[in-house]
Amino acid sequence: MVDAAPSPAQPEPSTFQSVEITSWTTGCLVLLVVIWSLTGHHVKRWNLNEGSAACALGLVSGLVILAFQSYMQKEVVKELLGFNAASFFAFLLPPVIFWAGLSVEKKLFFSHIGSILTLGILGTAVCFVVTALVLWLTFSHIGVLSLQESLAMGAIFSATDSVATLQVLNQDSMPVLFSLVFGEGVINDATSVVLLGAVDRMFSNTAASQASSSGSMWGGLLLTFMYLFVTSLCMGVATGLGIAFLMKRLEGQGVHQEVALVGLLSYLSYLLAEVGGLSGILSLFCCGIVVSHFALPNISNVGRTTTLNAFRTLSYISEGIIFIYVGMDALDPAKWRNAHVGQAGSLCVVLLLLLFISRACSVLPIALAHNLLSTTQKLNSRDIIIIWWSGLMRGAVSVALAYYYFDYGAGMTTYEAGSGGAEGPAPSSQQHRATLIVATLVVVLITVLGLGNLTNTLTQLLVEEPERGLWELLWRGAYGCGHRLAHLPALLCGLAQRMRKEGEGTFG
């Protein structure tokens, strides 16, 4: 009797099928970005910023895709509902970071560089330590998070998203506050990525993992962080100076060549930093500042204007794509099917509380130190509240870091159970990784759609009604928060149940 032949592996899609799938997904994404671009600036009447509008559009689009998935190819549905962290870091994030460096108001930025670096580096480090420590003390003894995962989650949730606040603040009327929020936002992203890279390096080394139990972990983490930060900064500055020197030497270049050289060489600094294990975000941001100050004056006026407009447009499109994908990815049935909803829910509650607590621990001491040492405009209580609030939102960087670390990146090493320190195999199962990713997505959605929706109201109350008492304004803001967020838990529970049912029925 002849044995039954094993079932053949699923064949790879042909070139024609791959082109068709890519065309479908790209066409849908372009259509969504067009819709967002046409309607995004009209949503301010609903107290939404453009990022929140893109995220909401992604959620609605994801629901439509799930409703009509039986009429669509399975590969197209997976591509549309899947967040690709590698593409995010390689293609979508660089235009946003480079434009942030090019558009920096250099006089304001460098006049407050001490406070900006303190908020962006020391403040982020405080958030990282508080978040990681509380997560480890809360969840390690019940086997939900290891020390390594607690540190990774601390770095992931140290990355803030201050876009909503920046869209409300007026740079002309509030220059100091705007420069602090803007500068901290960029430095914070770079610091969070460097911190996560330091955690990855430390635990990928067996000796470092053993040293972490002896008390030298924090020293090793600090040294790794300083090395990555300084080398990334130097690489970005050196690349920017090299571009400036090259553009000064080259004459008779066309406008298209000037724009191409500035963009490609700057992008190369980002890629080289990533390949070298450094922070591409910090390298590219520093490169953008140097290019803006030294390289752009060496090219033609038309080339300078074209460069600025081109990268502003690329940054705008990239931000829309990022937030649309975050919204759609939250509805991926496969993740909800694999995740442990109870653990994800408890993680969400603790993480949301930690956002408020860790942010206060980092902002209040630094703001007081700024007022003591600054010889320019002091920060009043309203300014401090706005700075604190601007760092409560979490965005696409946190989502991408969660995918990068728990889905693409480091494998878990050993797990320390409870305070006794007994080690065992790391909880790196598919369900556990999906639980951490789902928790990250839910927290990001709550902050983007919930807190982001309240940013306009709170900021306008604090800025535009100075005659009212601070406590009265805070009471009004808190009442509005409670009223708008009252229905959010029921909505999220309904979405979770729907996603699990869809996952069981379609992605089994």
At residue 3, the pLDDT reads: 45
Q: Which of 264, 276, 122, 282 is nearest to 190 (CA)?
A: 282
Give the span between the Cα atoms of 339 and 434, in whole angstroms: 5
Angular region, 339: left φ>0, alpha ψ -120 to 50, beta rest = beta
Residues sharing a CB contact under 8 Å with residue 104, sequence separation 6 or more, in sequence order: 182, 183, 288, 289, 292
Q: What tens digit of pLDDT does each residue of 377-434 get?
A: 788 888 888 889 888 888 888 888 898 888 754 433 333 334 334 444 334 477 888 8
Question: Which H or E run contains 91?
Answer: none
At residue 266, the pLDDT reads: 96
Collapsed DSSP state (helix, strand, coil) of residue 422: strand
Give the span between the Cα atoms of 387 and 392, in whole angstroms: 9
At residue 183, the pLDDT reads: 83
Q: pLDDT tier at 9 (50, 70, 90 boundaries)?
A: low
DSSP H helices, 374-469, are 381-390, 396-403, 430-445, 452-464
At residue 416, the pLDDT reads: 39
At residue 420, the pLDDT reads: 39
Q: What tens digit of pLDDT does each residue of 443-502 get?
A: 999 988 888 777 777 777 776 655 554 445 454 545 455 555 455 555 555 555 555 555
Give the span between the Cα atoms of 367 and 380, in whole angstroms: 9
Q: What tens digit of pLDDT does each residue of 27-82 get?
A: 999 999 999 999 866 766 666 778 888 999 999 999 999 999 888 888 888 888 88
More confident residue, 504 or 37: 37
At residue 380, the pLDDT reads: 83
Segment 332-354 mean pLDDT: 89
Give the span between the Cα atoms of 406 and 428, in whole angstroms: 8
Q: What tens digit of pLDDT does each residue of 227-281 get?
A: 988 999 999 999 999 999 999 888 777 899 999 999 999 999 999 999 988 889 8
Question: Which H or E run contains 449?
Answer: none
Q: 119 with 180: CB under 8 angstroms? A: yes
How many CA atoms are closer than 13 Å to the CA of 386, on its beta-carbon side? 31
Neighbouring C-beta atoms of residue 13, cutoff 10 Å: 13
Q: What tens digit of pLDDT does each residue of 290-326 get?
A: 999 999 999 989 999 999 999 999 999 998 998 898 8
At residue 44, the pLDDT reads: 64
Segment 128-146 mean pLDDT: 91
Q: What tens digit of pLDDT does each residue of 139-168 get?
A: 988 888 988 899 999 999 998 887 656 666
Give the span between the Cα atoms of 108 and 85, in whole angstroms: 33
Residue 105: is it exposed, middle or buried by C-beta count within 10 angstroms (0-12/13-18/19+)? middle
At residue 75, the pLDDT reads: 86
Q: What tens digit of pLDDT does each residue of 81-122 get?
A: 888 888 888 999 899 899 988 988 777 788 888 888 899 999
**DSSP3 helix / strand / coil % (the chain, rounded to 5):** 80, 0, 20
